[in-house]
Amino acid sequence: MAIQIRKAAALLLACVAFVILLSTQNSTSKNLSRNLKSMRVSRGKQNKKPYLKQIEHHQSKKGYENRMKRMQKKNEDMSKQQMKDGFAANQLQKDNLDKEWVKEQQDKIEAEKKNIKG
């Protein structure tokens, strides 16, 4: 049993070492290829059309600005609607209070009339 555990541990250790070796070899080969590419003389292919990047950036910026304008307009519309709803609710409450006040005043007048007659 112990021998099997040792064999499994050795196999696992060998696998880990192999993976580490492959990853370092892969990264060194990438670094070498990157260095070779940077050593090449540029013939202008990389910067052949730099204005295209500027156009793409401008278009993406323009799209962002349009989105922001739409969102701002939507928020303004929502706030206007909320203000209208709030005003309508306040007006309704004020009308109800006015009706109650008028009713109270009428009740007071009627009570005074009854007191005078009675």
The predicted-structure confidence for 29-58, as pLDDT tens digits, reads as follows 666 667 666 665 555 555 556 566 666 666
pLDDT bucket at 73, cuts 50 / 70 / 90: very high
What is the rounded distance in angstroms from the CA atom of residue 99 to the CA atom of residue 93?
Answer: 10
Model confidence at 116, pLDDT cuts 50, 70, 90, reads: confident
The three-state secondary structure class of 45 is coil
C-alpha span between 118 and 113 (Å, rounded): 8
3-state helix, strand, coil in the chain (%, to 5): 90, 0, 10
Instruction: Please report, rounded to a whole number, the percentage of residues in the chain having pLDDT higher than 90.
Output: 6
Q: Which two tokens stand for residue 66?
A: 């349009």
Query: Which pTM was predicted?
Result: 0.31
Contacts of 13 by beta carbon, 8 Å cutoff, 6+ apart:
none
